[in-house]
A = this chain, B = another copy of it.
Amino acid sequence: MIKDFECVQESYARDLLREKGLKSTTQRLAVIHVLHTSGKSLSVGEIHDGVKKLLGVAGLATIYRTLDIFEDLGIVKRLHFPDGGHGYAFSRGRHFHHMVCVDCRGVFDFPECPVEWLDYASAEKQGFRVKDHFIQLFGQCDKCAEVA
């Protein structure tokens, strides 16, 4: 087992996994470590590479399975990019929204949820009951703005 993994997300993940009777394996913690040190959203391939660098070997299938679990647990969120691609990033929970820098794919919390402020009058007028939503903001972060 590799030391130096400690971060908020790790202990949180350990707890959630334990609650569900799932195991905190080296590979799962490595995925967390990779996401943590990158500080941005990563593609499946990038996560796979990071875990391989950390552990020597890692099956791509394990990465997929791990990300599925983490997404269910709300630790991680699948983000969609304007170019059609997608990636994964930490999330503070299933119902948090994120801002993504289109240049570096860095991820920032977006604390407000504008949808909650909204009454669903127009939705109900169409006979639609809103149960959940997905929001993602695109833009440019500080650092990428400087470079440009």
Stoichiometry, copies per complex: 2
Tell me whether B139 and A115 are in contact (CB under 8 A). no
Q: Mark A62-106, 1 if CB is under 8 A from B, else 0.
A: 000000000000000010101010000000000000010110000
B110 touches A127 (CB 8 A): no
Q: Is the CB of A123 within 8 A of B99?
A: yes
Spell out A's residues near B (CB within 8 Å): 78, 80, 82, 84, 99, 101-102, 108-112, 114-115, 117-118, 122-123, 126-142, 145
A-B contacts, 9 of them at CB < 8 A, read A80-B134, A99-B123, A101-B128, A102-B131, A108-B126, A111-B122, A126-B141, A129-B140, A129-B141
Given contacts A110-B122, A114-B117, A134-B134, 4 further A-B contacts (CB under 8 A): A115-B135, A123-B137, A130-B138, A134-B138
